[in-house]
Amino acid sequence: MKPLIAPSMLSADFGHLNKDIELVNNSEADWFHIDVMDGVFVPNISFGFPVIKHIKKIAAKPLDVHLMIVDPDRYIEDFREAGADILTVHYEASVHLHRTLQQIRSLGMKAGVSLNPHTPVSTLEDILVYADLVLIMSVNPGFGGQSFIEGSTGKIRNLKRMISEKKSETLIEVDGGVNLQNAPELVDAGADILVAGNAVFKSKDPATTISQMKRSDHSFPSR
């Protein structure tokens, strides 16, 4: 099955944001990936509610919102109102993760849980069936444009095996250093959703890059 592609708007051109939103709308991409950072959980600050609401007005595809914030429970309803279709919280930031995932689902959103690079997938054994997706961070969260952390592929394989053993339908999303070169390996390891920032928006032809990544089988030459 072809992977879902979720271009990361953190790498978009904010001086021409509408143009990049339409680019994603008119491409083979499946979701808009939106990183929310609070400057506390990660050392950076990004999108607030006004920007998410603006993207939602123009976006023709679901908003995949990734919360890199402390105490995410305070804002779950606010993100739904802003337009989130998928809402992902961090395992490391959620004290009552089961309750948080239930609340997200109760508001009509898909619920995701993200793991930092140092957090083993085994920590999700008891919560996996309550998550619609697991987001594997293959860079340290906080900044775009980082290099892929080697070893993340093995982590994806371990998670895929765990999902199979649990007979769960949880999807695996990967974010961080994803590009045309490593996309096929990630999909082979079990990734269902590829988040790509610079690989898309810094390419000479973003729409073609998205199309190639969608196939992830070396059918096209890398650029």
Is 205 known to be catalytic?
A: no
> If we measure between CA atoms, which residue out of 199, 200, 172 comes closest to residue 186?
172
Structural domains of the chain ordered from first start: 4-215 (3.20.20.70)
Is 126 known to be catalytic?
A: no
Instruction: Read off the pLDDT of residues 54-99 as tens digits, 9 standing for 90 and up.
Output: 999 999 999 999 999 999 999 999 999 999 999 999 999 999 999 9
d(CA 33, CA 114): 13
Mean of the pLDDT values across residues 133-138? 96
pTM of the predicted structure, to 2 decimals? 0.93
Instruction: Read off the pLDDT of residues 87-106 as tens digits, 9 standing for 90 and up.
Output: 999 999 999 999 999 999 99
Say which of 20, 30, 35, 38 is annotated catalytic.
35
Instruction: Read off the pLDDT of residues 177-193 as tens digits, 9 standing for 90 and up.
Output: 999 999 999 999 999 99
d(CA 212, CA 28): 10
Say which of 20, 38, 132, 175 is annotated catalytic.
175
Query: What b/e string do you get for 97-107 counting C-beta neighbours within 10 Å, with b at 16 or more?
Result: beebbebbeee
pLDDT score of 154 more than 70: yes
pLDDT of residue 143: 61
Cα atoms in the 13 Å half-sphere on the side-chain side of 56: 18
